[in-house]
Structure 1
Amino acid sequence: MDSEKQMIYFNPLASEKDVSGFRLEGEASVSFPNGAMRMENKLDPAEGQASNFVFWCPLHFPSDIRVTWDFRPVREPGLCMLFFAATGRQGEDLFAPHLASRTGQYEHYHSGDINALHVSYFRRRYPEERAFHTCNLRKSYGAHLVCQGADPIPDVEDAQGTYHMELTKHGAQISFAVNDLTVFRWTDDGKTYGPLLGGGKIGFRQMAPLIGEYANLSVYTLE
């Protein structure tokens, strides 16, 4: 999957002005205490899915991209996701006004008015996730679990600094790596789980009560 790449977007995620155009779905606190974007839930985790949220970058990115960012877990339990190739189910812009509203609840994203891919990592929300750490790739509409790999990120108490995340979508191939260690690769046949998805928006999702920090969001186009 090595391809020539050209940076088309960079955001240090270091201050409020860096995310001035981002769109929050659900309720969250976004701050920058360490020169990186810290996100945490505002609502009580006892409210279940209602306490989770998604924070979207406003730009529409092309189909073949590599997305990188730095991540640091601050508090667990919880879960992190990156949505990508996100559009309306008829190819509309993700923020088209006629699409059903989304407020961070998972069903709005996997069985609502949108198509997307998403990778979930640092999955520590439920007991089975804390006992056996994986990164999952899902394709929606439908929340189809299409690929898994072992999650190399340690728990908060053992985490050291930040972890460099890399998501690549090139044609039918998708891969995910942490600190240059490939976690999974998957080839979409364009039939089993619906047609290949093209370009779209990317967004960060967290499940309460996790606190995470993010920095240096970069997007490259691939040739």
Structure 2
Amino acid sequence: MSTISPVTTTAATSTAQAGTSDQGALLSSDFQVFLKMLTTQARNQDPLNPMDSSDYAQQLATFSGVEQQVRTNTLLESLAAQLGGGGLTQYAPWVGMEARVTAPVSFDGAPLTLYLSPVSGADRADLVTLDSAGNEVARYTAPVGTGSIVWAGTDATGQSLPSGTYSFRLEGYSGDTLIGATAVESYARINEVRSDQAGTVFTLDSGAEVTVNDIGALRAAG
């Protein structure tokens, strides 16, 4: 392991449910309208020239089909809700663990391990540190290749940064020209898991929220 002040480097290494609900409400409305039309037709038909029995049977079959569709949609909504609850049960053990994400992370003075993804074609890289407001507070030369960095939490003068929420990006340069930037991953503690319209959402100790697709790895806290 080599040292590059002030960081140490390691070598390279649910919208569907809402749609179902709207459809069910529409079918339920159509069902009520159809029922009113059918009863009004039966009540006001000419007794001397009653409705043909085959037509009446066909309308009753249609009535039954609409009723069954409403019940099916209600059942699907109930099933979707049960599956959503099952997702919470599945992810509940993740609370208290640490997730590897590119979201902002909480810094309390202890060094953080950052995981870098290189910018293709870059011959130089800078690690940029941003505070909770998105302001740049530090910039250091970083390895060009993939690897991990132990971030000491200091600014460009070597002074310790205050505790708070920070995020990072890796800028790649060709000569003096910026050619791209990549997100930087770090581990953050999962404080809460919940289910909403976006699916299963995890709240981190920094206050950031991520989905399961945003989590690159998981480990025990410590």
TM normalised by structure 1 equals 0.24
Higher helix share: 2
**Higher-RCO chain (CA-CA 8 Å, sequence separation at least 6):** 1
Higher strand share: 1
